[in-house]
Amino acid sequence: MIIVTGAAGFIGSAMVRQLNDAGHLNLVVVDEFSRADKNRNLLNKAYIQKLDRADLFAWLERMHASVDFIFHLGARTDTTEQDTEIFDRLNLHYTQKLWEQCTQYNIPLVYASSAATYGLGELGYEDTHDIVTQLKPLNPYGRSKNDFDIWALQQEKTPPFWAGLKFFNVYGPNEYHKGRMASVIWHTYRQIKESGKMKLFRSHRPDFQDGQQSRDFIYVKDVLKVMYFLYKHQKDSGLYNLGTGQARSFLDLASNTFHAMGLEPTISFVDTPEDIRDTYQYFTEANMAKLQSIGYAEPFYSLEAGIEDYVKGYLLEGLGPKIF
């Protein structure tokens, strides 16, 4: 059987769909299942058991012989949260315990790291292991992810295969519960639907024009394909970037969302909120050579194609957001 943590969340629930579509029905889904808006993401998906995240370790002690693989996608992901204790408990210590059990019980592990580990990108965006201890994340969330990456690379005993995936800016269906932390595409769609207009953050740096702040936006369906590739591959353990390898501007993103909705763009600019202004990334772009070097050769959705599939396939249809 395969375990997916964070299974009611955005990427976790989408991974359950990916596994179901590939014929894997013998799944154990793990999360904190108190929110109905998140639990909706598991509708019409096949699994054999639901586990609260607090019960996973004791369950593994009893059932580890039946477990073939773990996708650890559960984490606290709020980049504005400043309480380091929350991140230490949920992102660092929880993942350390899971790593230790995967090592003890010989279970392969893929876990979610983050491009937030790169901070302002002073050292670039290469997923080489020798720069990990030098990275300077901009917030407690990014630090918790980098702290675990550092810890993992120091371990002499490891799972039989492991991969830490530095997710860049993931967007797509099943993110509807994330509120402020949902993707810019989701917020753009909502704002256009409500007002017919879109407001983007004004640049507060002289080297970037308004709207030209750029990120590596990756469609969740590409993320799923990479994770399934690693499940089948189970070689070449290490940290891997997971983006498209091409940065695109927020202006491109907004314009393409308007076009996918059949509308002409109407875009204006507002000041970046002060609580995130000092830690706002103006450019991210994944170097994807390492993943390609181990045999991953699938093309990634372009920003245009990804937005069109997301908007037309999941947002415009029916009476509300469609679950993937």
Tell me the sheet residues that pair with 240: 165
- What count of other Cβ atoms lies within 10 Å of the Cβ of residue 302? 15
| Single-letter amino acid, residue 165 | L
Structure tokens at 145: 């992810």
Measured CA to CA, the distance from residue 130 to residue 116 in angstroms comes to 17
Measured CA to CA, the distance from residue 56 to residue 30 in angstroms comes to 7
Measured CA to CA, the distance from residue 290 to residue 42 in angstroms comes to 33
Half-sphere exposure (Cβ direction) of 99: Cα atoms closer than 13 Å = 21
Selected catalytic residue, list 178, 199, 225, 322: 178
Structure tokens at 97: 């315990």
Find out whether 281 and 138 touch, Cβ atoms under 8 Å: yes
Find out whether 284 and 272 touch, Cβ atoms under 8 Å: no
Name the one residue in this structure whose structure tokens are 């202004």: 277
Find out whether 245 and 300 touch, Cβ atoms under 8 Å: yes
Measured CA to CA, the distance from residue 4 to residue 28 in angstroms comes to 6
Task: Tell me if residue 240 is catalytic.
Answer: no
Half-sphere exposure (Cβ direction) of 196: Cα atoms closer than 13 Å = 1
Selected catalytic residue, list 94, 141, 301, 310: 141
Nearest in space to 163 (alpha carbons), one of 234, 102, 221: 234
Task: Tell me if residue 193 is catalytic.
Answer: no
Taking phi over 0 as left and psi of -120 to 50 as alpha, with beta for the rest, 146 belongs to alpha
Residues noted as catalytic: 141, 178
